[in-house]
Amino acid sequence: MPDAAAIAMPTDVLTLPPRGSLLGFDFGLARTGVAVGELETGHASSLTTIHADANDARFAAIQKLIDEWHPVALVVGVPQSLDGVEQAMTARCRRFANQLRGRHRLPVFECDERLSSAAADVELQNAGQRDWRKRKQSVDAVAAQLILQHFLDSRP
């Protein structure tokens, strides 16, 4: 992940309460990784992967997670290339973030997700998951965890 100091955080991040849960998302067209984090502890954990390529199914699963965790805000990973140029998925991730804002009326923060999936795969390998099929089942949720942890670590 890039250096936390190099990423500008939105000014409204200062309005977050000192306590509460956050949900973080690593959006993908077929799979969306989800993580949960706590503002008080500053710790994020992988939660689940939503397997849905249709928006209705994806947002129904997200609604269940919101009902269960009662987050105070949501964090969406937005990809950029290493030189900061937007990628094809960047617009899709921003659209996903806007849809979350509109559907759930919660603050939604965008966070740089540069190399998060690659870092998640390495983390899973280091944890002993050598079979790529097993890693593929977990990599999106771990990527969401890394994105959310990066957001938490970058807060003032």
87-145: pLDDT as tens digits: 788 899 999 999 999 999 999 999 877 655 555 555 655 555 555 555 456 678 888 99
CA-based end-to-end distance of the chain: 18
Sorted by where each begins, the domain ranges of the chain are 20-86+105-154
20-86+105-154: CATH number = 3.30.420.140
Q: Please state, in angstroms and rounded to a whole number, the distance separating the CA atoms of residues 148 and 111.
A: 8
Q: Please state, in angstroms and rounded to a whole number, the distance separating the CA atoms of residues 155 and 13.
A: 7
- Find the mean pLDDT for residues 66-95: 88
On whether the pTM is more than 0.85, the answer is: no
Q: Please state, in angstroms and rounded to a whole number, the distance separating the CA atoms of residues 124 and 132.
A: 10
